[in-house]
């Protein structure tokens, strides 16, 4: 399937590749890298209509940039939550004042964001959240509750928080989408969560009367569920294609390891390698088919099911081609290095979460069953 890149797109891609080749290995810290991207005009592509972003770009040019970024092995982005999740949500639902306040700062790489959705008792079942936001008399809300699995919370300047503003409400009613500043000592506490990989990308966030301004409620009080669902749709957009470039690179490394170890001589391993390659092509075609379309209610759920399971199977395959060596760390154990993993071990352990975070496989299948296939909802209390 040809996505139909034009000659203009090819020039845009060449410009992106040249800039990344020159700057991607500059040794900048993550915040400085975001500002470098912003200064060069690479954040906020396609926001040009409202004048909030850095440059205009067609959908195909946004895809070209995302693919070149993934191919360049540039530093991981700290600003992608603000750029790819909050920004399109504000463009769709935000007031002119909210757009003018927050979008230019995201496009410049000056303000970083995190996402306050999941809670200990409301992960995939987002409608069960208990974090509350109570209206105060000084034009603010007081936010109290706990969020979990919050990526980049330690770096973020702001958090978009889904909270219950109607104390008598339940499920998806009475929720609001608030923009909350993170720099509130004594009112906001961030605790890193140590994972199986030994790293701490995720965090717990505790709100104890944190302040949020009334004018920073997106789409008005009570519209939180609608805004939150809109944002989840943006989560599976252009970035999915860039993600697949990274997946292809990981698959290439697994294939090379299979050749080097001799595992490729096993017909079962060869079959699994070919299946991984074929399924990755299917994921790309599916992403291109649905890109920019809002008519397919199940598109985002299908995409999540495809890539979550695929990446998890790739981690398992990486261990298989390594054989017994997969059970041994890259360095000898020591007090200073008690938990070292190589790239394949990290891939295997981290990908165990792929079918859980961002909406578990079970929840995605329920969405497809109810919203696409029109099947009846599961009866309450049935075991």
Please identify every residue annotated as catalytic.
Answer: 235
Beta bridge mates, 181: 158
Q: Is the dihedral of CA 53, 57, 60, 62 positive or negative?
A: negative
Given a contact cutoff of 8 angstroms between Cβ atoms, the answer to whether 299 and 293 are in contact is yes
Two tokens, residue 228: 């939150």
Two tokens, residue 129: 């959240």
**What is the C-alpha separation between 254 and 275, in angstroms, rounded?**
13
**What is the C-alpha separation between 371 and 360, in angstroms, rounded?**
16
Given a contact cutoff of 8 angstroms between Cβ atoms, the answer to whether 208 and 188 are in contact is yes
Two tokens, residue 150: 């919050």
Closest CA to 357 of 191, 232, 231: 232
Closest CA to 371 of 304, 299, 303, 307: 299
**What is the C-alpha separation between 38 and 58, in angstroms, rounded?**
18
What are phi and psi for residue 198, nearest 5 degrees?
90, -5
Beta bridge mates, 142: 134, 211
């Amino acid at each position: 399937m040809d996505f139909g890149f034009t000659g203009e797109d090819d020039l845009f891609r060449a410009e992106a590749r040249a800039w990344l080749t020159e700057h991607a290995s500059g040794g900048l810290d993550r915040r400085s890298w975001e500002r470098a991207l912003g200064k060069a005009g690479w954040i906020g592509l396609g926001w040009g209509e409202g004048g909030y972003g850095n440059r205009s770009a067609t959908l195909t040019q946004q895809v070209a940039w995302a693919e070149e970024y993934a191919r360049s092995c540039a530093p991981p982005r700290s600003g992608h939550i603000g750029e790819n999740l909050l920004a399109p949500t504000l463009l769709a639902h935000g007031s002119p004042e909210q757009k003018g306040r927050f979008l230019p700062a995201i496009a410049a790489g000056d303000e970083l964001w995190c996402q306050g959705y999941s809670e200990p008792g409301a992960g995939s079942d987002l409608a069960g959240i208990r974090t509350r936001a109570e209206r105060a008399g000084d034009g603010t809300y007081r936010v109290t509750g706990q969020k979990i699995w919050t990526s980049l919370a330690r770096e973020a300047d702001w958090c978009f928080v889904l909270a219950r503003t109607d104390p008598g409400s339940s499920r998806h009613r009475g929720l609001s989408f608030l923009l909350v500043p993170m720099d509130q000592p004594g009112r906001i506490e961030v605790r890193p969560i140590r994972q199986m990989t030994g790293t701490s990308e995720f965090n717990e966030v505790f709100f104890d009367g944190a302040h949020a301004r009334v004018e920073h409620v997106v789409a008005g009080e009570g519209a939180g569920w609608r805004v939150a669902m809109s944002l989840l749709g943006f989560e599976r957009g252009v970035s999915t294609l860039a993600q697949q470039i990274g997946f292809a690179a990981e698959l290439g490394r697994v294939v090379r390891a299979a050749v080097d170890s001799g595992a490729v001589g096993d017909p079962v391993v060869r079959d699994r390698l070919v299946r991984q390659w074929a399924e990755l092509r299917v994921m790309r075609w599916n992403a291109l088919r649905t890109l920019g379309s809002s008519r397919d209610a199940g598109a985002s759920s299908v995409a999540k099911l495809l890539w979550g399971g695929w990446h998890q199977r790739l981690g398992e395959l990486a261990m298989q081609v390594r054989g017994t060596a997969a059970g041994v760390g890259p360095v000898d154990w020591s007090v200073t290095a008690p938990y070292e993993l190589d790239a394949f071990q990290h891939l295997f352990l981290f990908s165990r979460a792929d079918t859980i975070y961002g909406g578990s496989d079970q929840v995605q299948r329920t969405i497809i069953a109810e919203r696409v296939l029109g099947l009846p909802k599961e009866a309450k209390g049935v075991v």
